[in-house]
Every structure is written in structure tokens, then in C-alpha cells.
């Protein structure tokens, strides 16, 4: 087993979330995802975003403890609306640059969630996850593996450089192996569980300080086990996908009032529109994410 470690915080620690990737860094990240199924971004998340997200999550966990004493599950989905800091995650420039690189202008938010795991020594923490891939379920493999249809960003809100933190583990390059739970042929069969496979070769434990950002392909085999340390392990996930794909937890078209949000946020959150504009898009639609193009295209 190997360990992938994030860069240590330095003077170049970005001060603002507008700290984007250069075109060369974008190329390097895409090449790493294509080769390894994941990449650790060259930037750490700004410290103040980590602090504000953790302050919000601390408050939630305290409330869950009060409300659900028996088996509290420390997680939430659809968090953009819960605290202004999550709007900054939604628009985090490096994530949107890479999403634009992969999907072009017609992508939107596929998932937004946080999870915190406290120490659990006995039994399985309901928030720990065994080996799986993010699909696609009910969609055939293409040439033996899963095409990229979601790009996921995991933002480490806690340090995971110590052992037994319950951090993310992955199988390097597994998006090029057989998909763990996709259809194996065009003949649909009901889901019968993940395939058992080789989870030792190219097994990588992703470690890093708070602020580490990992991006990965939906086809990657990954897991996160119990936290057996005294440091709560907290992660925020934001995932992007083509607009024609339905987000995992959110209602689309957006059912509420989008007037407080910017044009980019409204697009990512699934602003109501005519059906064909979810799939093909008009010229105006394709302008919405134009800010995230490469410098060379501008
Ligand atoms: O906690 C983690 O980092 C893993 C989460 C995960 O595997 C998932 O949400 O699919």
C-alpha cells in the first residue's frame, strides 16, 4: 500500500478562493486523473474557508447530538443553502476550471455534502464506506470500463496525516479496470452487489493536512473506513456532472427562489428551463460557465 500526500502549507497558501489553476496545472491535473483516477490539487483550500465550514459543521454535530442521541449520523447533503461558505465551495475556481475542461460549458452541481466521523473502535460507523465506485449504476461499461461522467472534489476539513484517521483510500488507475457496479452488457440486470476484486494492488491511502483537495473520476474504486483516532475526520464533497445527469440528492429544476444567487450559481443549482436546454443548451446557456475556459481560449 502506498500513501499519496498533499503539499505542505507554504507561503503560497492561497489567500482567496479565486486562486485558480494555470493552463499547465490544468493539463497536469487532467493527465493525473486520466492515469491514476485521482489527483491531489496543487492548492490547499484557504484557511478561512476551512474554519468557517468547520464552525458550521461543529454547530450541526452539537445539534445532532441533542436531537438524535442513539445513533447520530454526522452528515448533510444539499449544503449550499446552509451557510454562505458553501457558496464559495460551489464556485471554487480550480474545481470549476477542471469541470469545464472535462465537460465543457454544460455541467452543473451533482452533489454537495459534508461528513464527519468521530472515533469508532467497535463495529462499523454508518458513515464509513466499503469499496465501491460512483457508478454508473444501470449503465453499461464502455469498452470494459466506466466513462467519466462525474468529477468529484473532496475537501479535507481535518488533518489526515496521522494513522487510522478514516481517510479516503483508493485503487490507483481503477477507472480503467472493470466497473465495480455497472452493467456488464447492454442487457439490463437488477443490481446484485459490487463485484469482489483485487483491492491490494495500487492501493493508495490519501493523506494530507486540512485544506487538501482531491479530485476523482466516478469510476475510481474507493472507500473510507472507521476513524480510529481521536481527531474527528471531516470532509466536504462537491461533485459536478453534465446538466443532462440528475444530481444525486437535489431536486432539479431547482424548486425554490434562486433570486439571491448569481447567474453562475443559478446554472449550477439547476435553474428551471426548457427540457432541451438540459441536454443540448443554447448559445446563451453555454456562456454561463465561460469564465472557466482556459486562458488560451479567451
Ligand atoms: O468519506 C469519504 O471520503 C468517502 C466518501 C465516499 O466514498 C462516497 O461518498 O462515495
Q: Please give the distance, rounded to the nearest whole angstrom, from the Cα atom of residue 286 to the centre of ligand 1.
A: 31
Lowest mean pLDDT among 33-37, 137-141, 184-188: 137-141
Domain containing residue 139: CATH number: 2.60.120.620
Give the pLDDT band (50/70/90) at residue 254: very high
- Among residues 205, 149, 136, the alpha carbon closest in space to that of 172 is found at 205
Residue 85 belongs to some domain of the structure: yes
Its pTM surpasses 0.85: yes
CA distance 212 to 8: 9
Give the residues surrounding ligand 1 with Cβ less than 6 Å away: 115, 129, 134, 154, 168, 222, 224, 235
pLDDT for 69-101, tens place per residue? 666 789 999 999 999 999 999 999 999 999 999
Q: How confident is the model at residue 186, as a pLDDT?
A: 83
In the block, which residue shows the cell 451533482? 110
Three cell numbers at 139? 449503465
Q: Please give the distance, rounded to the nearest whole angstrom, from the Cα atom of residue 270 to the centre of ligand 1.
A: 24
Give the pLDDT band (50/70/90) at residue 31: very high
Q: What percent of the chain has pLDDT over 90?
A: 76
Residue 10 belongs to some domain of the structure: no
Residue 3 belongs to some domain of the structure: no
In this prediction, residues 156-183 reach a mean pLDDT of: 92
Element housing 204 (H / E): strand 203-207
Q: Looking at the CA of residue 117, tell me the nearest atom of ligand 1.
A: 1
Is pLDDT at 15 greater than 50 in this prediction? no
Q: How many domains does the chain have?
A: 1
Q: Looking at the CA of residue 129, tell me the nearest atom of ligand 1.
A: 7
Residue 221 belongs to some domain of the structure: yes
Is pLDDT at 146 greater than 90 in this prediction? no
- Among residues 160, 158, 207, 163, the alpha carbon closest in space to that of 58 is found at 158
Residue 14 belongs to some domain of the structure: no
pLDDT for 180-215, tens place per residue? 877 777 888 888 788 889 999 999 999 999 999 999
Give the pLDDT band (50/70/90) at residue 13: very low
DSSP 8-state symbol, 187: S
Q: In which domain, by residue range, is 249 found? A: 20-185+197-297
Residue 13 belongs to some domain of the structure: no
CA distance 19 to 296: 18
In this prediction, residues 243-267 reach a mean pLDDT of: 96
Amino acid at each position: 500500500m502506498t500513501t499519496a500526500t498533499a503539499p505542505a502549507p507554504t507561503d503560497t497558501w492561497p489567500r482567496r478562493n479565486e486562486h485558480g489553476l494555470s493552463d499547465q496545472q490544468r493539463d497536469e491535473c487532467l493527465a493525473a486523473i486520466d492515469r491514476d483516477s485521482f489527483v491531489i490539487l496543487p492548492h490547499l483550500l484557504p484557511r478561512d474557508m476551512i474554519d468557517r465550514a468547520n464552525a458550521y459543521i461543529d454547530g450541526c454535530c452539537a445539534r445532532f447530538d441533542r436531537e438524535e442521541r442513539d445513533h447520530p449520523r454526522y452528515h448533510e447533503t444539499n449544503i449550499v443553502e446552509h451557510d454562505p461558505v458553501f457558496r464559495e465551495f460551489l464556485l471554487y475556481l480550480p474545481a470549476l476550471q477542471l469541470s469545464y475542461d472535462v465537460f465543457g460549458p454544460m455541467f452543473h452541481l451533482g452533489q454537495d455534502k459534508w461528513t464527519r466521523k468521530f472515533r469508532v473502535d467497535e463495529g462499523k460507523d454508518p458513515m464509513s464506506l466499503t469499496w465501491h465506485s460512483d457508478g454508473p449504476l444501470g449503465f453499461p461499461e464502455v469498452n470494459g470500463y466506466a466513462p467519466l461522467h462525474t468529477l468529484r472534489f473532496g475537501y479535507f476539513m481535518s488533518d489526515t496525516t496521522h494513522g487510522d484517521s478514516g481517510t479516503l483510500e483508493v485503487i490507483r488507475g481503477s477507472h480503467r479496470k472493470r466497473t465495480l457496479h455497472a452493467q456488464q452488457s447492454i442487457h439490463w440486470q437488477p443490481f446484485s452487489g459490487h463485484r469482489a476484486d483485487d483491492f491490494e494492488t495500487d492501493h493508495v491511502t490519501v493523506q494530507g493536512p486540512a485544506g487538501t483537495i482531491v479530485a476523482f473520476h466516478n469510476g475510481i474504486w474507493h472507500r473510507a473506513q472507521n476513524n480510529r483516532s481521536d481527531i474527528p475526520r471531516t470532509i466536504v464533497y462537491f461533485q459536478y456532472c453534465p446538466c443532462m445527469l440528475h444530481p444525486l440528492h437535489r431536486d432539479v429544476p431547482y424548486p425554490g427562489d434562486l433570486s439571491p444567487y448569481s447567474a453562475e450559481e443559478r446554472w449550477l443549482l439547476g435553474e428551471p428551463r426548457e427540457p432541451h436546454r438540459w441536454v443540448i443548451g443554447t448559445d446563451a446557456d453555454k456562456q454561463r460557465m465561460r469564465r472557466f475556459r482556459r486562458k488560451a481560449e479567451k
